[in-house]
Amino acid sequence: MGDVGLNAYLMVGAVLFVCGVVCMATKRNGIGVLMGVELVLNGANVNFVAFSRYTSLGLDGQTIALFVIVLAAAEAAVALAIALNFYNNHLTIDVDRGNELQG
Amino acid sequence: MDFEALFKQFLSGDVAQQASILRSLTIFLPELVLSCSIVLMLVARLVSLDRIIPTHWFALLGGMASFVIVLFQFWEFGNSQTVPVEVFTGLAIHDEFSIFFRGFLTFFLVFVIALTVLTGIPDDEDAPDFYSLLCGAVIGMMLMSSANHLLMLFIGIEMASVPSYAMTGFLKGKRRSSEAALKFVVYGAGAAGVMLFGISLLTGILGTAQFSELAPRFQAVFASHAGMQDPATRCVALALLMIAVGFAFKLSLVPFHFWCPDAFHGAPAEVGGFLSVGSKAAAFALLVRLTTSLAGDGSGALSQLSLSCGLGLGLIAIVTTTFGNLAAYSQQNIKRMLAYSTIAHAGYMLMAVSALLVLQSVQTDLVFQGNHQENGPRAMEGLLYYLCVYLFMNLGAFAIVALIRNQTYSEEIDDYKGLAQQVPVLAICMAICMFSLVGIPPLGGFYGKAFIFASVYEATNVHWFMWVVLAAGGLNTVISLFYYLRVAKTMCMDTRPADAVPVSMAASSSPALYVMLVSGMVVFLGIIIDPLSKVALHAAHALF
């Protein structure tokens, strides 16, 4: 197996990032939006690991990726709890239905 | 390679390196004390100790203890050393600036806990959860203020944000509260994701995540490539823009401010007060740290970077203040109005950062002689003084909103009519806070604004655009007069309708004393500015 080089990894990271942003912008389902966030975070993680292999970033990149995985899990736990709370009060998780706060 | 260094320290067991870890842990003591009090609170509930000792005592004592430790560190720092110490192999930095902000945040934590005890927002059942979230968020903010590494930046922001999301939705069974929390978490998680991607690009291109190495590496990248047309330079610009999105979200700057009014409207007023002061202060500390280390010594390409960052932030500051003030004008709900006022104040404070960067960009030029070296610290002094005054005036306003809500169950401005006849204490203190938020001379808010506008005026020597910033700041102060005074007028001049819910509060009761203390500090900081402004200037010097 030949080395595919840094740019191939960055491309994967960028595609994940764009998919995530599009998902965040278009999904109306609250859980869908959170899945978009996960895609963005993992796109960044691919970048970190690739940079740690190919640049002078070194071990820092991999450590950052590990920390981000943990942070993403914590954030997802809180976000899902909040989505459940929203569902209990509104009987939907459509983010557009949260329209009582305006002005 | 600080992580490698850290791992090696653990593996090799070298005595000198273990001593450096011990030293780091000693410096980290305030955060450790807060963490211990979180654990204690949760364990106390496990063994039903919270039935005997109310949970807020754990939180209150933990907050006070860590504030005292920070004070002691400040004293120690002033006596023995003046060199910033890098702790945990450079992940965080310990200098006067971080001590100032850690002291600020722990002091604020004590005040917020006292407020929640007085208004009783978390009931006994939920108190351990609420105070753990509160203390956890403050630890995150303290990490933000002492971050020296891009990973610490991200961890700090997440540690401060995630508990804030939960606290916003803390009131169970309230439709508005759950909606506010959902909006907050969706925007917040999105902004954090974009910011992390920006960080990944920046670290990749510069090959480091250490703040102190960013400026030299940037210069090297800029020197080895052909200027702005080069992909590497453009990529750095894109990364900085993405990181700016994360900051704009935390500081609720236009166009990433949507969450702020909704979150404040739906959240309890105490949480609104906490978010509006605590997370803003920490985010400003982090923004200043990151931008000053990016600007470096302001030579060569860094001068250009610093100037363009400064002007960009200046433009955002103008738009943010103007938008915040105009939108606040038509609000009927007081928490919503205060949220827009928070947005506007973030804009004023951003003007100080903008002035700082513009001033830094000519650091090495000898065109501007005289006390020019003092200008950067002066801008920072303005920001720090403003934050301190802002702590009291905004917390005071939110505290009064919470106390009135407890009796009338309403947060509409119209329901505040003629409160001066029933509770003169609250009405007078609210008027003081409102006048200070406008920036009327004898009060603290005036000096905060005056310091910031003075440094923006200094920056006009460097670039003409700062005149526009200065004019926008002045105009906005005039616009803001109308909506702040409307609240004061409604409370003090109107007559209370006969069918309105009566409000009563003895002038010697503890909530009234709390409110008087907070608004008394607003007056005090307007009359005696010297001690605090000296401390602020001292802290600001640590950055340069």
Show which of residues 140-179 on chain B sit within 8 Å of chain A, judged by CB atoms.
150-151, 154-155, 158, 162, 165-166, 169, 172-176, 178-179
In this predicted structure, which of B68-72, B368-372, B397-401, B447-451 has the lowest mean pLDDT?
A: B368-372
What pLDDT shows up at residue B226?
62
Minimum-distance CB partner of B193 among A37, A51, A74: A37
pTM score above 0.90: yes
When pLDDT is averaged across residues B151-165 and rounded to a whole number, the result is 95
Contact B209 A60 (CB under 8 A): yes
Minimal Cα–Cα distance from A56 to chain B, Å? 5
Q: From the CB of residue B73, how many other CB atoms can be counted at a distance below 10 Å? A: 20
Q: Across-strand partners of B87?
A: B92
Minimal Cα–Cα distance from B235 to chain A, Å? 12
A74 inside 8 A of chain B by CB: yes
How does the average pLDDT of chain B come out, rounded? 89
Q: Model confidence at B324, in pLDDT bands (50, 70, 90)?
A: very high
**Long-range CB contacts (within 8 A, 24+) of A63-72:** A63/B3, A63/B151, A64/B150, A64/B151, A64/B154, A64/B203, A64/B209, A67/B151, A67/B154, A67/B155, A68/A41, A68/A44, A68/B154, A68/B196, A69/A45, A71/B154, A71/B155, A71/B158, A72/A38, A72/A41, A72/A42
Task: Tell me which chain B residues have a C-beta less than 8 angstroms from the C-beta of A50.
Answer: 204
Minimum-distance CB partner of B189 among A48, A75, A90: A75
B223 pLDDT more than 90: no
Domain ranges of chain A: 29-90
CB within 8 Å of B24: residues ≥ 6 apart = B87, B88
Say which residue, A54 or B20, is predicted with more confidence: A54
d(C-alpha B356, C-alpha B358), whole Å? 6
Minimum-distance CB partner of B209 among A44, A64, A74: A64
Minimum-distance CB partner of B179 among A20, A75, A98: A98
A70 inside 8 A of chain B by CB: no
CB within 8 Å of B14: residues ≥ 6 apart = none
Task: Tell me which chain B residues have a C-beta less than 8 angstroms from the C-beta of A17.
Answer: 197
Q: Model confidence at B228, in pLDDT bands (50, 70, 90)?
A: low
Length, in residues, of chain B: 544
Minimal Cα–Cα distance from A1 to chain B, Å? 25
Task: Tell me which chain B residues have a C-beta less than 8 angstroms from the C-beta of A49.
Answer: none
Contact B4 A58 (CB under 8 A): yes
Task: Tell me which chain A residues have a C-beta less than 8 angstroms from the C-beta of B151.
Answer: 60, 63-64, 67
B14 pLDDT more than 80: no
Percentage of chain B lying above the pLDDT 90 cut: 57
H or E element: which one contains B193?
Answer: helix B175-206
Minimum-distance CB partner of A33 among B186, B196, B333: B186
A12 inside 8 A of chain B by CB: no
Contact B192 A75 (CB under 8 A): yes
Contact B162 A78 (CB under 8 A): yes
Q: Model confidence at B9, in pLDDT bands (50, 70, 90)?
A: low
What pLDDT shows up at residue B382?
92
Which residue of chain B is at minimal alpha-carbon distance from A22?
B190
Contact A63 B197 (CB under 8 A): no
pLDDT in tens, A31-72: 999 999 999 999 999 999 999 999 888 888 999 999 999 999
Q: Model confidence at B419, in pLDDT bands (50, 70, 90)?
A: confident
Query: Which letter, b or e, does each residue of B48-72 get, where b requires 16 or more Cβ atoms within 10 Å of its Cβ?
Result: eebeeeebbbbbbebbbbbbebbee
Mutate which of B196, B265, B330 to disrupt the A interface (most A C-beta within 10 Å)? B196
Task: Tell me which chain A residues have a C-beta less than 8 angstroms from the C-beta of B7.
Answer: 59
Contact B207 A57 (CB under 8 A): yes
Minimal Cα–Cα distance from B220 to chain A, Å? 14
In this predicted structure, which of B80-89, B306-315, B361-370, B406-415 has the lowest mean pLDDT?
A: B361-370
The answer to whether B322 and B275 are in contact (CB under 8 A) is: no
Show which of residues 16-55 on chain A sit within 8 Å of chain B, judged by CB atoms.
17, 20-21, 24, 30, 33-34, 36-37, 40-41, 43-45, 47-48, 50-51, 55
How does the average pLDDT of chain A come out, rounded? 91
Contact A60 B178 (CB under 8 A): no
Minimal Cα–Cα distance from B79 to chain A, Å? 35
Q: Model confidence at B136, in pLDDT bands (50, 70, 90)?
A: very high
d(C-alpha B531, C-alpha B300), whole Å? 38
Query: CA dist B417 to A16, A103, B498, Å?
Result: 54, 22, 11
Q: Model confidence at B88, in pLDDT bands (50, 70, 90)?
A: confident
Task: Tell me which chain B residues have a C-beta less than 8 angstroms from the C-beta of A13.
Answer: 197, 200
Task: Tell me which chain B residues have a C-beta less than 8 angstroms from the C-beta of A90.
Answer: 175, 178-179
3-state secondary structure of A43: helix
Omega within 30 of 0 (cis) for the link into B255: yes
B208 inside 8 A of chain A by CB: yes
Contact A60 B176 (CB under 8 A): no
What pLDDT shows up at residue B392?
94
Strands, E assignment, B82-186: 85-87, 92-94
The gap from C-alpha B160 to its chain's centroid, in whole angstroms, comes to 11
Q: Model confidence at B230, in pLDDT bands (50, 70, 90)?
A: confident
Report which of B521, B517, B388, B529 is spatially closest to residue B104, judged by C-alpha positions: B388
Percentage of chain B lying above the pLDDT 70 cut: 94
3-state secondary structure of B500: coil
The answer to whether B433 and B522 are in contact (CB under 8 A) is: yes
In this predicted structure, which of B10-19, B69-78, B164-173, B355-364 has the lowest mean pLDDT?
A: B10-19
Show which of residues 312-341 on chain B sit within 8 Å of chain A, judged by CB atoms.
330-333, 336
pLDDT in tens, B98-125: 999 999 999 999 999 999 999 988 888 8
Say which residue, B85 or B136, is predicted with more confidence: B136
B10 pLDDT more than 90: no
d(C-alpha B368, C-alpha B96), whole Å? 28
d(C-alpha B16, C-alpha B27), whole Å? 17
Minimal Cα–Cα distance from B332 to chain A, Å? 9
B212 inside 8 A of chain A by CB: no
B425 pLDDT more than 60: yes
